[in-house]
Amino acid sequence: MSRFVFATLGSLGDVHPYIAVGRSLIQRGHKTVIATSEEYRSAIERAGVEFAAVPPSMAELGDYQAMVSQVLDARRGPEYLIKRLVMPYLRRAYDELWRVSEGADLLVSHPLSVTMPLVAQKRGLPWVATVLAPMSMMSSYDPPVIAAAPWFRSLRVLGVTPYRLIFGLAKRQAYGWEKPLREFRKELGLPPQRHLALFEGQFSPLLNLALFDAQLAASQPDWPSHTHVCGNPAYDGGTSDPAVLTDLEQFLADGEPPIVFALGSSAIWVAGDFWKHAVAAAQRLGRRAILITGPQMPGSLPEGVRAYAHLPYSAVFPRAAVVVHSSGIGTLAQAMRSGRPQLLLPVAFDQPDNSRRAVALGVGRTLPFRKAKTEKLVGELEKILGAADYAAKARSLAEELGKGDGPANAARKLEDCVRRAIN
């Protein structure tokens, strides 16, 4: 039996994959700890996985909605995220990870858990890196859509040079952001890091697990060595409230499949008047609808429209006419497994790139979130509902994904890494 410690930072989409892998490891007889923000304690412990609190907690960051709005700003969001949510907490995060890593056999990092590699170096423990979306690979051969400049991908026809240039500019900018990390490494007596922690430095020389589905991205020449694509460790941590599920089942049984609108766990905080437009679009189309809104529930709704704060996506996506969502990688994984066509409304970070990759699979269409007003929603949904190809390709993809087991694949790779480290 081995002890695995995972560190992660972010939204529920940055927690659920590790719950899935952790549960698989537990089923295989190991101990698993997930170290992250205090707010996720109940979700992790409810899943049967040990929890450890690592700062920052969302409570200490102040107004959560205002914070998410700044993080999701396409241009300034990444800088805000690193400077406000990562760098100020280096020492406290390191101290907690040092404590929880006592007796560990293997440490596993998320792209933003920049102190986990430091703990591994100081303790002399093996360390595995993970990424959740293809964009994190930063490949010039399979370049991502960059939220702040989506037009830049059109230069891909010129070869790899344009993206190498833009990645180089991004690294120059990130170098300044990482100054506190360089100083902290020096304080710990660690040698200077050759690469930036937000770029090549996030990857492990032992093993890198790509926790996304291979259908979204193929291995590229500039991916880090020792990378294995496991498939998305899809986990559904929605509500288990019997009354909510009973109400959902009754609504689904009362009529034709609804259009399901879901903005994941982050974009719900910047929804604005989106729900009003979603309801109006459904009514214009003569369709029933389900809104999964988070805590900010809309007021009175017309007949045939139901809103829920939270729902297990696996309980509702497969029964939708169309799944409308913001393209977060966790939500996308559930939508791809539902076998239903999709309308993807990317907001920021990896979402525009995730959306492009899903559309390339033929399972739906995309519309930037800022343009998701009634007329545009109606037009895109009419095209999806009126073309059988989207539904057929969605069913075929779901069948293909159903043959895989992302959590088990990742668990086996982690076990192998421990065995190699011991031997």
Six-digit token string for 193: 């890091």
pLDDT of residue 33: 98
pLDDT of residue 239: 63
pLDDT of residue 248: 94
pLDDT of residue 240: 65
pLDDT of residue 237: 79
Residue 127's DSSP bridge partners are 107
* CA 171 from centre of chain: 22
Burial class (CB in 10 A: 0-12, 13-18, 19+), 255: exposed
Give the domain ranges of the chain. 3-231+404-422, 242-401
Give the Cα separation of 61 and 67 in Å (integer). Answer: 7
pLDDT of residue 95: 98
- Please provide residue 259's backbone torsions phi and psi, each rounded to the nearest 5 degrees: -80, 130
The distance in angstroms from the start CA to the end CA of the chain is: 15
CB 85 within 8 A of CB 61: yes
List the chain residues with pLDDT less than 50: none
pLDDT in tens, 314-352: 999 999 999 999 999 999 999 999 999 999 999 999 999
Q: Is the peptide bond before 56 cis (omega within 30 degrees of 0)?
A: yes
pLDDT in tens, 184-221: 999 999 999 999 999 999 999 999 999 999 999 999 99
pLDDT of residue 337: 98
Asked: is 3-231+404-422 a CATH 3.40.50.2000 domain? The reply is yes
Six-digit token string for 311: 């729902």
What percent of the chain shows pLDDT beyond 90? Answer: 85
Give the Cα separation of 38 and 21 in Å (integer). Answer: 20
pLDDT of residue 31: 97
**CATH class held by domain 242-401:** alpha beta
- Compute how many other C-beta atoms are within 10 angstroms of the C-beta atom of residue 156: 14
Strands in 208-296 per DSSP E: 208-210, 227-229, 259-262, 289-292
pLDDT of residue 150: 86
pLDDT of residue 420: 87
Give the Cα separation of 23 and 26 in Å (integer). Answer: 5
